[in-house]
Copies of this chain bind each other. A is one copy, B any other.
Amino acid sequence: MVKRTRFDGESCPVARSVDAVGDWWSLLIVRDAFDGSRRFGDFQRSLGVAKNILSSRLRELVDSGILEHAGHDYVLTAKGEALFPVIVALRQWGEAYAFASGEDHSLLLDRRDHQPLRPLEVRAADGRPITPADTEVRKL
């Protein structure tokens, strides 16, 4: 059993988030939940992961309040649904940078018009577009 590195004492919300989510499997389980997976078998077919790993990750996601049981189903809580921008941000970066030219990939589409979503934009409180250089981190 690999001991997971813990970031739960960190004062940085990025570190806390990665700690709360778990590992990459956990994040892909959340992705699958957004895409309609609800049963253990749904996640297993999609991920092709060993049952014991899937079991432990599902249990951890329930323990951390990201998934909850609804009968035999696993469904996202409000806290889990709030990970949507994280999943969309990873997807859009992957679409831009992680495929060879001409290589196909799955698409996340707006149900209404079947168009891809708008790229996420980081904005200031007043709506100005913000680049990394426009920001500063105030540490504790």
Choose among B12, B116, B123, B137 the residue that contacts A125 (Cβ–Cβ < 8 A).
Answer: B116
Contact between B31 and A14 (Cβ–Cβ < 8 Å)?
A: yes
Restricting to A61-110, which residues have a CB under 8 Å from any CB of B?
A: 65, 76, 79, 81-99, 104-110
Shortest A129–chain B CB gap in Å is 10
Contact between A113 and B126 (Cβ–Cβ < 8 Å)?
A: yes
* Dominant secondary structure at the A interface: mixed
How many angstroms from the CA of A83 to the CA of B89 in the assembled complex? 8
- Which residues from B are CB-within-8-Å of A115? 124-125
- Total identical chains: 2
Contact between A84 and B131 (Cβ–Cβ < 8 Å)?
A: yes
Closest to A22 in B: B24
Restricting to A27-53, which residues have a CB under 8 Å from any CB of B?
A: 27-28, 31, 34-36
- Which residues from B are CB-within-8-Å of A5? 24-25
Q: 14 extra interchain contacts, Cβ-Cβ under 8 A, other than A14-B28, A20-B94?
A: A14-B91, A15-B94, A16-B94, A16-B99, A82-B96, A84-B122, A84-B132, A85-B122, A86-B93, A89-B120, A107-B138, A108-B136, A110-B124, A118-B127
Chain A positions within 8 Å of B, measured between CB atoms, are 2, 5, 7, 11-20, 23-25, 27-28, 31, 34-36, 65, 76, 79, 81-99, 104-118, 120-128, 130-132, 134-140
